Amino acid sequence: MTTPADGWLPLSAGERAVAIEVLVHGPLSRSEIARRLDLSAGSLTRLTKPLIESGLLVESAEDSAPGGTRQGRPSQPLDIVAESRFFAGFKITADRVYGVVTTLRSDIVARRDLPLTTHDPDLVADLLGEMAEGFARDFPALAGIGIGVGGSVEKRAVVGESAFLGWNDVPLAALVEERTSLPVVVENDAAALVEAESWFGAGRGLDRFVVLTIGAGIGYGLVLGGKRVAGAEDGLGVGRHWLVNPQGPLTPDGDRGSAVSLLTIPSIRYQLRAATGRDLTYEEILASAAAGEPMAARVVEEAARALGALVAQIANFAMPQKILLAGEGVGLVDVAGPLVEETLLAGRHPRADPVDLETKVSDFHDWARGAAVLAIQVLVLGLTEA
């Protein structure tokens, strides 16, 4: 389809470290870069010269960099050329594919989504190839593709299992690479969102950071030492067995009283339908609860207590500096935030540090942006596996 844009190779380890520091945290003054990477002024000059000559780094306006100093001659901070390369990110749901194009710094510059009328892997790959082709026409410097899927993914290439799509052992990266001639990385969608928030979002610069997502399912990701902790459990639905209220409701998905049975949108809708016979949307249930409708209020209150208990458990065991609550289900906090906070505090030691809980309503284009960040990481780190 297209020829991949040039990567960052060849770069020495030192040059790559400087470039990544500026990419994630910049613009930065030379003195700040030297401090962060423990480099002498001479070593930094030697490392930055080829990056500037290649056009990867540029000198930006004075005083725009955090942490810069004004001693002696004014410093011109270094910044990345964010529009030098673009990346496509896709989020696959059961019935639609959402796509975005981002800059090297993950800013979304284009969006497109198309209906998914089949789950046949070859036809899904055809659709992804078609969407990537359209993006490449508008952004010739397209350098890679990231794909987020609900389910387990092996070696960032093969969808091991996806209940939403009915897939097992689908070599999705290879299928899309055949159609696009671009490097492709595939990952569990929640893991991709964690990477995006750790590099460019709420967790940037934090050593210990957690992302908890609620929506069609429960997603969880942990960052330690500034790196996401990857494991065999990624995408296997840990929330089905994460008990927060053993006396909670029994639903078709998840153990009784689990995070999935209490917090996911399908389970909340199921609970109200089973109790009243009414099939309401998630937004309608939240609105009914806010208006004081008894059964909707009861279901929402149980979900709020479950969320507070879950966040308390995470804070107690992982001790993160921040927990980001994301996903299409976070409207629960708008309706029942005080109850979430009350239950959270009840599950914590009175002298424990306050939990820095940030909420972010994420649409599917945000999830697609997370997938694009995977492609950015492949380019700048040279990695295909977590």
The fold of 13-80 is Arc Repressor Mutant, subunit A (1.10.10)
Q: Are the C-beta atoms of residues 107 and 82 closer than 8 Å to each other? A: yes
Alpha-carbon separation of residue 145 from 13, 66, 212 (angstroms): 24, 31, 25
The fold of 85-195+366-381 is Nucleotidyltransferase; domain 5 (3.30.420)
Q: CATH 1.10.10.10 occupies which residues in the chain?
A: 13-80
Q: In CATH, what number does 207-320+329-362 get?
A: 3.30.420.40
C-beta atoms surrounding 252 within 10 Å: 9
Of 270, 281, 276, the residue nearest 331 (C-alpha): 281
Give the pairing of strands 108-115 and 96-103: antiparallel
How high is the mean pLDDT in each 10-residue block of the chain (386 residues)?
51 84 88 90 88 82 50 70 91 96 95 96 97 95 93 92 92 97 93 93 93 91 90 65 81 83 94 93 96 95 96 95 94 96 95 94 90 90 59
Give the containing element (helix H, strand E) for 167.
strand 167-170
Question: What local confidence, expressed as pLDDT, does residue 236 receive?
Answer: 59
* Token output for 283: 């937004």
Q: CATH 3.30.420.40 occupies which residues in the chain?
A: 85-195+366-381, 207-320+329-362
Question: What local confidence, expressed as pLDDT, does residue 5 receive?
Answer: 46
Give the containing element (helix H, strand E) for 153.
strand 152-154
